[in-house]
Amino acid sequence: MTPFSSKTQAAIEFAADLFRAASRAVVLTGAGLSTPSGIPDFRSEGTGLWSRDEPLDVASLNTFRTSPEKFFRWFRPLAAQIFNAQPNAAHVAMAEMEKSGCIRSIVTQNIDDLHQKAGSKNVIEMHGTMRTLSCTQCYHQQEAFTYLEPFVERGEIPHCPYCGGILKPDVILFGEQLPQKAWMQAQRDARQCDVMMVAGSSLEVLPVAGLPMQALDRGAHLIIVNNSPTYLNVRADVAIMEDVANIIPAIAERVYHG
């Protein structure tokens, strides 16, 4: 196990104490949770996706409608990374904590399916998923797996087997509404939780970034594990600015073994 400073170790133990005392713990995860699995985040300087591309130019609903080839050309390298990625130690630790009853639900901004691959069951996907594709003409939904490999390997744009329309990944692009059912459930869980842990999120994308405030306003404790500070570090009971893949397994270990 990675050696921690005395300050970090104390923060890990405090976080574990909060989880042990909780009955309705919820986790909010962002792109930083998946960077140890080889998937780039969006805002890190030099490596983030938006340090190389203008998001509204490549990842908006308008771009998809007017120039789908441009979207798919941008999306292909990311799809390949997601297609080949495996859960890291943080995903696995969260899945184990959910299985043991320490975590009630995971609200995620990620589209990579790594929580589910690790074994988590109650995952609320705020920005959609790559597991399915929907036809832009007849709206028929298809499982993505059979289309992903040809797209990743040869750049084949997926088309509907029923009408021939272009299939859009069921991820939320700029200019699209959040999935209403997921958003309502995320708000309910945030308002009812007694502990919320933010893991790998810079809390910069609204409205999801407001969920921890909803939890705090109703008396919940807040744990933040992220490489960089967030706007809520000053309100958090625990804020650890280190690698999620090291810290979250350490918190889980302390929850189980004290």
Q: Tens of pLDDT along 178-191? A: 999 999 999 999 99
Structure tokens at 155: 């750049």
The residue to which tokens 């998923």 are assigned? 129
pTM beyond 0.95: the answer is no
If you average pLDDT over every residue of the chain, what do you get?
92
For residues 85 and 66, what is the distance between their CA atoms, to the nearest angstrom?
Answer: 30
How far is Cα 162 from Cα 4, in angstroms, rounded to an integer? 56
41: which 2 tokens? 């985040």
Which residues, at least 6 apart from 154, have a Cβ–Cβ distance to it below 8 Å? Answer: none
Task: Report the side by side order of strands in the sheet with 105-108.
Answer: 123-125, 105-108, 25-29, 195-199, 221-225, 238-240
More confident residue, 54 or 51: 54
What's the angle, vertex CA 49, arms to CA 207 and CA 181, rounded to 5?
Answer: 30
Q: Which domains does the chain have, with CATH numbers?
A: 1-39+87-127+177-258 (3.40.50.1220), 41-84+130-171 (3.30.1600.10)
For the chain, the C-alpha Rg in angstroms (whole number) is 19
How far does CA 53 lie from the centroid of its chain?
20
Active-site position among 127, 140, 159, 221: 127
Around Cβ 104, how many Cβ atoms within 10 Å?
A: 18
**Tell me: the pLDDT tens digits for 56-94?**
677 899 999 999 999 999 999 889 999 889 999 999 999
Catalytic, 140? Answer no
